[in-house]
RNA sequence: GUGGGCGUAGCUCAGUCGGUAGAGCUCAGGAUUGUGAUUCCUGCGGUCGAGGGUUCGAUCCCCUUCGCCCACCCCA
């Protein structure tokens, strides 16, 4: 009988890994709360229509990557491929966007049916941040500055690069799109295969093409910024002024095009070359039209999402995780001899509640030697040893496991004082 | 969806020019009485991914299939 395995591209997170995730998540949530952002939690499943209307009908995500299925009543449901649309839906549904501002964040699994590879999975996890009701570029700057801070706290700032671009307003962009298609259609027989396909599906992505010939043809192509109105130009100029003023280095990448339809004006990406093909570790942008598009009264929005798997991969690659992450206990209690276990339970409880220590208590008895081995392997700094001698005298032996200090007999009542220093 | 690489003990891998397999780590026990991480000894542990074919005989050769990994595409 074949063993049942996890679904391809959907990974279990084992103990050695979960501690790393928690480390990252704690730093992120702490930073966000210091900026006054509030957590929001949405369902994992939404009506399929939500994603069709937000991400765009002809994007790869909607066309071939969604986990879509029929509910028992015939409704078409989809496992969320991204969080922004869900967040907008939830905020709008509960009136959070009516004449007010919001700074929100969320965290959780997303699903896309792609071929798995390094840094790309079918169930992956994002930490997303979305702001509503702010029109100006100052909030864009706040978001970018926040991520900049995060990289510094994690110790990876030197390994990521900020790229920014402006896509203009939807109408400006679609005017450019038409002009681009007209221009490129004359070279149709010279373009690479993917670009020809994109001519129909997603012309902006052609700017991204890896084909040299295509890039050469693009040199004479219309330029997006020429289609911008005053407001778009101003917004982007003010944003770069903020970044300059804050001393945040960036590269303006005119080829930077995000894959989702709803972006307008500013888009940005944090990229690294340390992860192979999947170098984008955090990305986002402004989506002023999305709320209205999904049926709301309308509210400007900006946000970004980080890929948790990719970040953890990067932190591992750069070896910036603290070493002691896998140490699960401060103290290991060794109890040898008849009648010592009850005392061990009591002492363990005492050390946990009054000493705020992480305490592992030996289970299953075993020889003194094997208990000491387990104490060592736990990574605990101290072994607290209880034998019949100690029980008789209300003491315990405290043996340091991480240093050469002598072990010491300590009164049970003085244990915390002795260990917590 | 398209390429390429790989599947041998729980983990990391070696190996057999075809005669049903080995090391290190892990785990358990021991090197005298209640002391770990070093060292030494012993032990536990494998339908050699699955199915079929060739052969006296296949883990090794051939075919199929499944799984994993990397890349394209796309994206966090």
What pLDDT, on a 0 to 100 scale, did the predictor assign at position A3?
73
Asked if A119 CB < 7 A from strand B, the reply is yes
Q: What is the ipTM of this complex?
A: 0.87
Is pLDDT at A1 greater than 60 in this prediction? no
| Nearest DNA or RNA nucleotide to A376 (CA to C1') | B36
Radius of gyration of chain A (CA): 28
> What contacts A90, CB < 8 A, 6 or more positions away?
A40, A42, A96
Q: What is the pLDDT of residues A292-343, one digit of tens each?
A: 999 889 999 999 999 999 999 999 999 999 988 888 999 999 998 888 899 9
- Across the beta sheet with A359-361, the strand order is A359-361, A331-335, A382-386, A395-400, A408-411
- Which uninterrupted H or E stretch holds A398? strand A395-400
- pTM, rounded to two decimals: 0.92
- Rounded CA-CA distance A47/A90 in Å is 12
Asked if A133 CB < 7 A from strand B, the reply is no
Mean pLDDT, rounded, for A35-44: 98
- Whole-number distance in Å between A385 CA and B24 C1': 33
Lookup: tokens for A29 = 């949530």
More confident residue, A367 or A332: A332
Burial A168-185 (b: 16+ CB within 10 A, else e): bbbebbebbbebbeeebe
Q: Region of A155 please: left (phi>0), alpha (psi -120 to 50) or beta.
A: left
**A259, A60 contact by CB (below 8 A):** yes
More confident residue, A111 or A404: A111
What pLDDT, on a 0 to 100 scale, did the predictor assign at position A2?
63
Asked if A370 CB < 7 A from strand B, the reply is yes
Asked if A403 CB < 7 A from strand B, the reply is no
Spell out which residues of A between 172 and 191 contact strand B, using CB within 7 Å: none
What pLDDT, on a 0 to 100 scale, did the predictor assign at position A57?
82
Burial label for A17, CB within 10 Å (0-12, 13-18, 19+), is middle
**A54, A85 contact by CB (below 8 A):** yes
**A42, A104 contact by CB (below 8 A):** no
Mean pLDDT, rounded, for A199-216: 80
Asked if A369 CB < 7 A from strand B, the reply is yes
- Rounded CA-CA distance A230/A310 in Å is 38
């Amino acid at each position: 009988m074949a063993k049942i395995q996890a679904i391809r591209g959907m990974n279990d997170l084992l103990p050695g890994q979960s501690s790393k995730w928690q480390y990252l998540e704690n730093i992120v949530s702490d930073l966000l709360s210091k900026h006054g952002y509030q957590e929001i939690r949405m369902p994992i499943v939404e009506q399929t229509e939500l994603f069709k209307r937000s991400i765009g009908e002809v994007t790869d995500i909607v066309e071939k990557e969604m986990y879509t299925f029929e509910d028992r009543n015939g409704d078409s449901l989809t496992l969320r491929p991204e969080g922004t649309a869900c967040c907008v839906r939830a905020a709008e549904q509960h009136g959070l966007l009516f004449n007010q501002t919001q700074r929100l964040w969320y965290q959780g699994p997303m699903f896309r049916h792609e071929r798995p590879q390094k840094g790309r999975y079918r169930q992956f996890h994002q930490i997303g941040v979305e702001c509503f009701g702010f029109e100006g570029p100052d909030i864009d700057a706040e978001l970018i500055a926040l991520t900049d801070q995060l990289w510094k706290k994690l110790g990876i700032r030197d390994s990521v690069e900020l790229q920014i671009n402006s896509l203009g307003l939807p109408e400006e962009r679609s005017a450019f799109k038409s002009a681009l298609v007209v221009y490129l259609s004359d070279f149709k027989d010279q373009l690479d295969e993917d670009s020809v396909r994109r001519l129909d599906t997603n012309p902006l992505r052609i700017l991204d093409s890896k084909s040299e010939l295509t890039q050469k043809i693009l040199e004479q192509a219309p330029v997006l910024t020429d289609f911008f109105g005053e407001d778009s130009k101003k917004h982007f100029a003010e944003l770069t002024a903020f970044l300059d003023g804050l001393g945040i280095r960036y590269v303006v990448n005119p080829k930077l095009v995000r894959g989702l339809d709803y972006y307008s004006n500013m888009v940005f990406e944090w990229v690294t070359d340390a992860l192979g093909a999947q170098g984008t570790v955090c990305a986002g942008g402004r989506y002023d039209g999305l709320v209205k598009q999904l049926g709301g009264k309308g509210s400007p929005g900006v946000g970004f999402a980080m890929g948790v798997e990719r970040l953890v991969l990067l932190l591992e690659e750069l070896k910036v995780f603290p070493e002691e992450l896998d140490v699960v206990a401060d103290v290991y209690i060794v109890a040898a001899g008849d009648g010592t276990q009850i005392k061990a339970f009591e002492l363990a409880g005492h050390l946990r509640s009054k000493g705020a220590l992480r305490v592992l208590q030996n289970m299953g008895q075993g020889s003194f030697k094997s208990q000491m081995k387990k104490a060592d392997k736990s990574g605990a700094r101290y072994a607290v040893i209880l034998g019949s001698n100690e029980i008789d005298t209300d003491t315990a032996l405290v043996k340091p496991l991480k240093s050469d200090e002598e072990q010491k007999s300590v009164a049970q009542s003085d244990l915390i004082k002795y260990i917590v220093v």
